[in-house]
Structure 1
Amino acid sequence: MSDAFQLAHAFTARWEGGLSDHPSDPGGLTKHGVSLRWVQDLARQAREECRRLLRSCDGCTERSTPQCGWYSLDLDMDGDVDADDIRACTRAQAAALFKARFWDRLHCKALPLPLAVTLYDGAVNMGPARAARQLQRAMNVTGEAQLDHYSPIAEDGIMGPRTQELAEALAAAHLDFYAARLSLRLRETFYRDLAARRPSMRVFLAGWRNRARSLAQYLAELERGAA
């Protein structure tokens, strides 16, 4: 695994603890940040993709290999994806799932470190599309206010070439840490709004806000180390 991913996951892993099954958590049974709802959604999507491609398990060269989207979710290797897989999930399996589903799919390694770390943790905590949109919004606000030459990017949750170009421009102007911190402020606003809309989620608000503030401190440590 890359050094950048290890730096990102080192923070995120602090906040994704052991086995839990909080009644207000829509993800259900969760361990090391891997929730039953999430892995079952991924398993369903993998099955649907195979059906779309008219591909069956019989004779499939990827069956029972890490390349099989469904097989990689059968963490206890008993032929199904259920609560027992969450209970069996190890820290290494959680890290591998997060790297494949968030870090790699969002092209985090193509981003300056503070933006990559912020995006990755947000994706694990809130979902990739929302985290990406927040980061794009922060980058647009920063670019418009502080770059001499700036073209806005779409806030569409897709980390494509235009988003990467703006990220590089912000880093060249030493604004990447600033944009990352602004993204965290947007995250806190989202948390407060979510808790206001869904009272059952208020129990998590203090922890969410502490996580965002702790990440701001982690970014400050990375910034001092890069100076």
Structure 2
Amino acid sequence: MNIDHLIDEVIAREGGYCEHPADRGGPTKFGITQAVARAEGYGGDMRDLPRSTAARIYRALYWDRPAFAFVAEIAPFVAAELFDTGVNMGPGVAAGFLQRTLNALNRNGRDYADLSIDQKVGARTLAALTAFLKLRGPRGETVLLKAMEALQGERYIDLAERRPANEAFLYGWLANRIG
């Protein structure tokens, strides 16, 4: 999985500058919120955020730091899903979806031990992923993706139900983030 390609896709999907009144993230550009940009050292106007800065932030916060690059070596499509979900919901949430799904698919611990849902991709999560795919073969990655996307869809609906202002985003989330 080529992270540069994934970053290009997310930047194209997120678009340019936006300041939607219902978005708690405030001003964004290329999908990078002002708070994230500030935390990563960008102090300028969000309208002027360079694409290269956004790409650097995406790579650091949503690929390298959460160890999704290691997942890509084992299951590239799962890694792409983790990246995209991480961008939209946070890398911890994405990693938690993977861990929950692996736990649900381990046949009550017969295939590999249950994981702690610590929302971090570490050695145990990578070992469980490897064991699952070895047992289930290439179709296993497809099944894993479907289960992760089901959790993602449920979370989007929950977000819209708990905060009606999020209904402004629900259709786009479902149309552009799932499947």
Please state which band the TM-score falls in when normalised by the shorter chain.
0.7 to 0.9
1:184 alignment partner, one of 149, 156, 161:
149
- The structure-2 alpha-carbon separation of the partners of 1:167 and 1:193, relative to structure 1 and needing over 3 Å to count, comes to same
Equivalent-residue separation in structure 1 for 2:7 and 2:132 (angstroms): 23
Match status 1:157 vs 2:122? no
Conserved? CA contact 1:119–1:132, under 8 Å: yes
String of CA shifts for 1:24-68, please: whole Å, max 9, x gaps: 10110100011112223x25xxxxxxxxxxxxxxxxxxxxxxxxx
- The structure-2 alpha-carbon separation of the partners of 1:7 and 1:140, relative to structure 1 and needing over 3 Å to count, comes to farther
Match status 1:168 vs 2:166? no
Equivalent-residue separation in structure 1 for 2:57 and 2:129 (angstroms): 25
Partner residue in 2 for 1:143:
106
String of CA shifts for 1:98-128, please: whole Å, max 9, x gaps: 1011100111111120111111111111111
Query: Structure 1 length normalisation: TM-score?
Result: 0.70
Partner residue in 1 for 2:59:
99
Larger radius of gyration, structure 1 or 2? 1
Question: Unpaired runs of 5+ in structure 1?
Answer: 44-72, 75-80, 217-227
Q: How far is the alpha carbon of 1:148 from its aligned partner?
A: 5.4
Partner residue in 1 for 2:69:
109
Query: Structure 2 length normalisation: TM-score?
Result: 0.88
String of CA shifts for 1:146-195, please: whole Å, max 9, x gaps: x9522111111011110011111223232122112210110000000010
Q: How far is the alpha carbon of 1:14 from its aligned partner?
A: 3.2
Secondary structure at 1:38 match in 2 = helix
Question: Unpaired runs of 5+ in structure 2?
Answer: none
One-letter amino acid of the structure 1 residue matched with residue 82 of structure 2: L
Partner residue in 2 for 1:206:
171
